Amino acid sequence: MTTSPVLYQRWADVPLEPVTDQISRKLITGQRMMLAHVYLKQGAVVPKHQHHNEQFTYILEGALRFWIGDDGAEVIDVRAGEVLHIPSNVWHKAEALEDTLDVDIFDPPREDWLNKTDAYFHQK
């Protein structure tokens, strides 16, 4: 049986990737999970999208407002110290209510983030 090597990383050593002029991120990826630091400036919008990945969003600093569902009818504000679980294929949109640092955990890793095909970030 072969096992993967243990991975040790410091966030300070992970490169910051600009996504938009208001959103940037750092990614650490394993075989079956992805951990991301996402930095959002106040007013930054993550347009409505869905993905097959299960997601946990844990707010370290700031606050995000989420609109959940295809119609966006469910609105949830998630603040520092709080966690939102988004099951697979659930439509969601987010806006930073203030400068925010969140930790997103995905299973499986977001292939669209890794191969830079996450064009939904640039929709209006």
The CATH number for 43's domain is: 2.60.120.10
**117 vs 6, 61, 110, 111, CA distance in Å?**
28, 27, 10, 8
Q: How far apart are CA 113 and CA 46, in angstroms?
A: 13
Domain that holds residue 73: 37-102
> Phi and psi at residue 43, in whole multiples of 5°?
90, -10
Which secondary-structure segment (H or E) carries 112?
Answer: helix 111-114
Total domain count, the chain: 1
Is 65 within a domain?
Answer: yes
User: Mind listing the pLDDT tens digit of every residue in the chain (124 residues)?
Assistant: 667 789 999 999 999 999 999 999 999 999 999 999 999 999 999 999 999 999 999 999 999 999 999 999 999 999 999 999 999 999 999 999 999 999 999 999 999 999 989 988 887 6
Distance, CA of 38 to CA of 100 (rounded, Å) = 8
56 domain residue, yes or no: yes
